[in-house]
Amino acid sequence: MVKLAEYSRTATFAWSHGKIPSLVTGTASGTVDANFSSESSLELWSLLSADASKPDASLAVDAKFNDLDWSQDNKILAGALDNGAVELFSNPKDSLKFEASFRSHSKSAKTVRFNAKQCNILASSGTQGEIFIWDLNTCLKNPDYKPLTPGSSMNSIDEITSLAWNQCLAHVFASAGSSAYASIWDLKAKKEVIHLSYSSPETGLKSQLSVVEWHPKNSTRVATATGSDTDPLILVWDLRNANTPLQTLSKGHSKGILSLDWCSEDENLLLSSGRDNTIVLWNPESGEELTQYPTRGNWCFKTKFAPDAPDLFASASFDNKIQVQTLQNLVTTLDQEQSVTKQQESETDFWNHVSQEESDVKPTVLRMQAPSWYENKSPAAHWAFGGKLVCITANGLGVSITKPKLPGLEDNALLDE
Amino acid sequence: MPTITNAHNDLIHDAVLDYYGKRLATCSSDKTIKIFEVEGENHKLVETLSGHEGPIWRVDWAHPKFGTILASCSYDGKVLIWKEENGKWAQIAVHAVHSASVNSVQWAPHEYGALILAASSDGKVSVVEFKDNGTTAPVVIEAHAIGVNAASWAPSVMPEGGVSNQTRRFVTGGADNLVKVWKYNSESQSVTLEDTLEGHTDWVRDVAWSPSVLLRCYIATVSQDRTCIIWSKEEKDDKWTKTLLQNEKFPDVLWRASWSLSGNILALSGGDNKVTLWKEDLEGKWEPAGEVQE
């Protein structure tokens, strides 16, 4: 699919988990939309619905969203609201239902993230270093539930805009925000255990590490990104040597990076997006830039793979647009024919519909790398005439042609060479 | 029977013998196709074809009546057509109507003409005919929401040279866990959906329509959910019957299914490098039919 869907909303979003994912959006805080309305709503969109302009379900919410996340069992949605509330919703039979609200963050709730291993554990963060850990099994039953805090931090941390649970260990998570540090927390040790900071070789200054995401399978590997516009870098660390990054992904973005997503199905794919309005696909292992997606009308503040359909990813930008597109969107002969007819268009025709023209700029592929879910390592057995069977050998580099003995079908001497 | 070791220096994804069993085509992540001549125990590499910009997933020989022609499909979104003329191979056509990886390509039964069926991750399936004056008339349809992993033609039941009003069908398997049967009308150049077969709970990795023309037609579908389902029906019924090949799950993901050209023996390829053979017993149940020693 080229561009699967486009929703005209300035909103954060969360993917559901499943083969045919749906998307939930929450009106983004800190923006004034076209008609200056201050309403905020949570909306549910399904990719297969015929009319992409109307959500399947909508629920009014009393404050705007800074973040949204959906639990792995698709049962609970968590929202971080700019009035400091962490709100929980459910979606019985494709509708949206309010479940609970906790005004626990003093100023504004910045981000929420479900634990990768236990879907009843949720982390939320706010300003002044506030991080809360929620247990949904109890908080849904007790309106004056008080969330836990992860313990003491090494030094004062200001606003925390990025949280990420370790994908292998349920008790480890990372946080990052406006300070020059990214922190690694251990809930068992009840404190911040590792502190990541990076001084850029050019300026010698500590660069701001404001986004953090974990490797999908390796528990000691984590990626951070710099949100500031001066040398926006993505760094890949191995925590066993926390003072120098393993890999640097540079020159992909010209402005600060606002969002990262490490593909859960293929650790060699990482998405980033930011203030230069562009989305980039990287191979974080080799540091190579794979694809640059068409630039958007404004900052692209969130980009996420669909967890169980990673050929798709969604990205939200402040130009009132959430786009769902596929990793690949190659130039086809149909596009070439269209651009030929377009060049022969009269000038008046061209200027008449230039504004409504759906700009189908295609992504630039810098290096063609097939995601791991395409690599089908198997014997790929193929029958041929004369009862021959062609198989690829176990190491995948050779081929064997055999004639299997089939019980009940004795060899026919005439047939055999 | 020959074994060709280190045919490629990266993963091989498909290896197909031609009609006479004399030529073997292999394709790989190293972006090349290799053509081997095989004779009894020995083999000889005769050609290496480059042109694709990404890993090549499948190759398929055209029927010899069209000449020595091979089709290949790749992650680069293209189907390339190669032809050997007086000993020299050359790329003679490009079919680039898909905007994402083309995951399977197959020539139609030769009675329909030089027609290929391509399935792509862009969710579309295309049928393109290579006419004598070289023009191609692709029919492109939306088939599966998130991507099409495989497509397979039904055999032609028409006697050689018979009138060609007989419905032409193919089956597709997608990343939406569905299997769909389609009717292709060559006059009106249109494709219509005939059946949607639900049963798998994860990506359908391969679909294979049995080439044997029997009383019942058979489709084998294999999936990431580690099961194989046999769909079968008689020409007169309108409902497909669904039979799980075996009730318990296979040890690993099943990637490919291939029907023998006679005797309706099914060969399944698993991610655990095992190939298992199956045939139907008299009561319509499926039982193992021998093992392929590695």
Establish if B189 belongs to a structural domain. Answer: no
Are the Cβ atoms of A326 and B121 closer than 8 angstroms?
yes
Query: How far is B191 from B171, CA to CA, in rounded Å?
Result: 12
Residues B132 and B228 both lie in one domain: no
Report the pLDDT value the prediction gives residue A19, as an integer from 0 to 100: 84
Domain membership of residue B192 (yes or no) is no
d(CA A147, CA A100): 13
Tell me, yes or no, whether B152 and B248 share the same domain. no
| pLDDT tens for each residue of A210-248 | 999 999 999 999 999 998 888 789 999 999 999 999 999
Between the alpha carbon of residue B141 and those of residues B125, B128, B131, B144, B190, the distances in Å are 6, 12, 20, 9, 9
Query: What SS3 string covers B127-172?
Result: EEEECCCCCECCEEEECCCCCEEEEEECCCCCCCCCCCCCCEEEEE
Task: Examine the pLDDT at A27 and tell me if it is beyond 90.
Answer: yes
Mean pLDDT, residues B235-244 taken together:
89
Q: Are residues B238 and B127 in the same domain?
A: no
Place of tokens 């008299």: B282
Residues of chain B contacting residue A408, judged by C-beta atoms under 8 Å apart: 289
Contact A370 B54 (CB under 8 A): yes
Of A333, A391, A417, which has the smallest distance from its Cβ to B292's Cβ?
A391
Q: Are residues B73 and B5 in the same domain?
A: yes
Choose, out of A49, A329, A330, the residue to mutate when testing the contact with B (most B CBs < 10 Å): A330
- The answer to whether the Cβ–Cβ distance between A390 and B16 falls below 8 Å is yes
The amino acid that residue B181 corresponds to is: V
Least confident of A19-28, A295-304, B150-159: B150-159
CB atoms within 10 A of CB A134: 26
Cα angle: B171, vertex B176, B179; to 5 degrees: 20
Of B125, B146, B177, the residue at which a domain comes to its end is: B177
Q: Looking up tokens 């922190």, which residue turns up?
A: A183
pLDDT of the residue at A375: 83
Statement: residue A1 has pLDDT above 50: no
Q: Do B12 and A392 touch (CB under 8 A)?
A: yes
Nearest Cα residue in chain A from B205: A376
Question: Which of B26, B76, B99, B281 has the highest number of chain A CBs within 10 A, making it the mutation to test binding with A?
Answer: B99
B6 and B144 fall within a common domain: yes
The SS3 assignment for B110 reads helix
pLDDT one-digit tens code per residue, A357-371: 566 789 999 999 999
Per the domain annotation, does B31 fall within a domain?
yes
**pLDDT bracket for residue A179 (50, 70, 90):** confident
How high is the ipTM of this complex? 0.94
Contact B277 A392 (CB under 8 A): no
Q: Is there a single domain that holds both residue B259 and residue B173? A: no
pLDDT at B249 over 60: yes
Give the span between the Cα atoms of A163 and A292, in whole angstroms. 26
Which residues in A lie closer than 8 A to residue B14 (C-beta atoms)? 380, 382, 392
Cα(A14)–Cα(A264) distance, integer angstroms: 15
Q: Which of B21, B101, B271 sits opposite A378 (nearest CB)?
A: B271
Q: How confident is the model at residue B147 (pLDDT cuts 50, 70, 90)?
A: very high
Our count of domains for chain B comes to 2
By C-alpha distance, the chain B residue nearest A327 is: B100
Cβ of B145 within 8 Å of Cβ of A48? The answer is yes
User: Helix, strand or coil for residue B73?
Assistant: strand
Q: Going by DSSP bridges, is the β-strand pair A172-177/B102-107 parallel, antiparallel, or unpaired? A: unpaired
Q: Are residues B5 and B145 in the same domain?
A: yes
Q: Which stretch of A71-75, A342-346, B259-263 has the lowest confidence by average pLDDT?
A: A342-346
Q: What is the mean pLDDT of residues B114-130?
A: 95
CB-based contacts of B247: which residues, under 8 Å, 6+ apart? none
Residue A121 pLDDT grade (very low, low, confident, very high; cuts 50, 70, 90)? very high
* pLDDT digits 0-9 by tens, B269-292: 999 999 999 999 988 899 999 777
Among the partner residues B13, B77, B253, nearest to A330 by beta-carbon distance:
B77
Q: Strand, helix or coil at B66?
A: helix
Domain span at B231: 199-293
Interface probe with B: pick from A47, A390, A402, A411, most Cβ of B within 10 Å: A390
* Residue B161: inside a domain: no
- Tell me the pLDDT tens digit for each residue of B62-107: 999 999 999 999 999 999 999 999 999 999 999 999 999 999 999 9
Q: Look at phi and psi of residue B189 and say left if phi exceeds 0, alpha if psi is from -120 to 50, else beta.
A: left
pLDDT at position B29? 96
Whole-number pLDDT of residue A164: 97
Query: Does the residue B184 lie in any domain?
Result: no
CA separation, residue A338 to residues A3, A345, A346, A358 (Å): 17, 11, 14, 13
Of the listed ranges A184-188, A409-413, B129-133, the least confidently predicted one is A409-413
pLDDT of residue B235: 80
Q: Do B101 and A328 touch (CB under 8 A)?
A: yes
Quick one: average pLDDT of A193-206? 86
CB contact under 8 A, A400 and B176: no
CB–CB contact B97 A332 (8 Å): yes
Burial A205-232 (b: 16+ CB within 10 A, else e): eebbbbbbbbbbeeebbbbbbbbbeebb
Would residue B190 count as lying in a domain? no
Q: For residue A154, is pLDDT > 80?
A: no
C-alpha pair distances (Å), B213 with each of A51, A293, B235: 43, 48, 11
Q: How many Å lie between the alpha carbon of B207 and the closest alpha carbon of chain A?
A: 13
Q: Which amino acid is at B71?
A: A
Average pLDDT of every residue of chain B: 92
Domain-embedded: residue B187: no
Is there a contact between B176 and A19 if contact means CB atoms under 8 Å apart? yes
Check B175 against A2: CB less than 8 A apart: no
Q: Which of B29, B96, B260 sits opposite A332 (nearest CB)?
A: B96
Pick from B3, B17, B122: CB nearest A388: B17
Picking from B293, B228, B287, the residue whose alpha carbon sits closest to that of residue B256 is B228
Q: In what order do the strands lie in the sheet with B275-280?
A: B254-259, B266-270, B275-280, B286-291
Give the residue, B68 or A348, on which the prediction is more confident.
Answer: B68
Q: Region B236-252: what's the mean pLDDT? A: 92
Flag if A406 and B263 touch (Cβ within 8 Å): yes
Residues B228 and B121 in one domain: no
**Shortest CA gap B3–chain A (Å):** 4
Q: Do B277 and B220 share a domain, yes or no?
A: yes
Q: Kindly list the residues from chain A whose CB atom is less than 8 angstroms away from the CB atom of residue B20.
A: 385
Global pTM value = 0.91
Helices and strands in chain B, H and E counts: 0, 25
Is residue B81 in a domain? yes
| pLDDT of A174 higher than 80 | yes
How does the average pLDDT of chain A come out, rounded? Answer: 90
Per-residue pLDDT, A247: 94
- Residues from chain B that touch A396, judged by Cβ atoms under 8 A, are 11-12
Nearest beta carbon to residue A380 from set B99, B123, B255? B255
Chain B CB contacts of A364 below 8 Å: none
B174 neighbors B204 (Cβ within 8 angstroms): yes
Question: How near does any CA of chain A get to the CA of B2, in Å?
Answer: 6
Per-residue confidence (pLDDT) for residue A413, from 0 to 100: 60
**CA nearest neighbour of A323 among A331, A315, A335:** A315
Interchain CB distance below 8 Å, B29 and A392: no
Model pLDDT for residues B218-237, shown as the tens digit of each residue: 999 999 999 999 999 988 88
Are residues B273 and A379, on separate chains, in Cβ contact within 8 Å? Answer: yes
- Identity at B47, one-letter amino acid code: E
Give the CATH number for residue B86.
Answer: 2.130.10.10
User: Per-residue confidence at A415, pLDDT binned at 50, 70, 90?
Assistant: low
Whether residue B147 is found in the same domain as residue B222: no
Q: What whole-number distance in Å separates Cα of residue A175 and Cα of residue A123?
A: 10
Does residue B119 share a domain with residue B30?
A: yes
Three-state helix/strand/coil letters over chain A:
CCEEEEECCCEEEEECCCCCCEEEEEEECCCCCCCCCCCEEEEEEECCCCCCCCCCEEEEECCCEEEEEECCCCCEEEEEECCCCEEEEECHHHCCEEEEEECCCCCCCCEEEECCCCCCEEEEECCCCCEEEEEHHHHCCCCCCCCECCCECCCCCCCEEEEEECCCCCCEEEEEECCCCEEEEECCCCEEEEEECCECCCCCCECCEEEEEECCCCCCEEEEEECCCCCCCEEEEEHHHCCCCCEEECCCCCCCEEEEEECCCCCCCEEEEECCCCEEEEECCCCEEEEEECCCCCCEEEEEECCCCCCEEEEEECCCEEEEEECCCCCCHHHHHHHHHHHCCCHHHHHHHCCCCCCCCCCEECCCCCCHHHCCCCCCCEEEHHHEEEEECCCCCCEEEECCCCCCCCCCCCCCC
Residues 6+ apart with CB under 8 A from A348: none
At residue A29, the pLDDT reads 87
**Strand ranges across the sheet with B68-74:** B56-61, B68-74, B79-85, B88-95
Q: What is the pLDDT of residue B99?
A: 94
Q: Which one of B101, B210, B272 would you mutate to disrupt binding with A, by most A Cβ within 10 Å of its Cβ?
A: B101
Residues 6+ apart with CB under 8 A from B145: A1, A20, A47, A48, B123, B174, B175, B176
Distance CA B96, CA A330 (A): 9
Q: Which of A377, A398, A406 sits opposite B265 (nearest CB)?
A: A406
Residues B66 and B208 in one domain: no
Instruction: For residue B3, list chain A residues with Cβ-Cβ distance below 8 A.
Output: 393, 398-401
Contact list in B for residue A370 (CB cut-off 8 A) is 29, 54-55, 75, 101
Provide the residue type at B18 as one letter: D
| Residue range B176-233, pLDDT digits in tens | 999 999 999 988 889 999 999 999 999 999 999 999 888 889 999 999 999 999 999 9
Shortest CA distance to B156 belongs to which of B232, B81, B209?
A: B209
Q: How confident is the model at residue B110 (pLDDT cuts 50, 70, 90)?
A: very high
Who contacts B67 (Cβ-Cβ below 8 Å, separation ≥6)? B83, B84, B85
**How many Å is the Cα radius of gyration of chain B?**
18
Q: How far is CA A304 from the centre of its chain?
A: 2
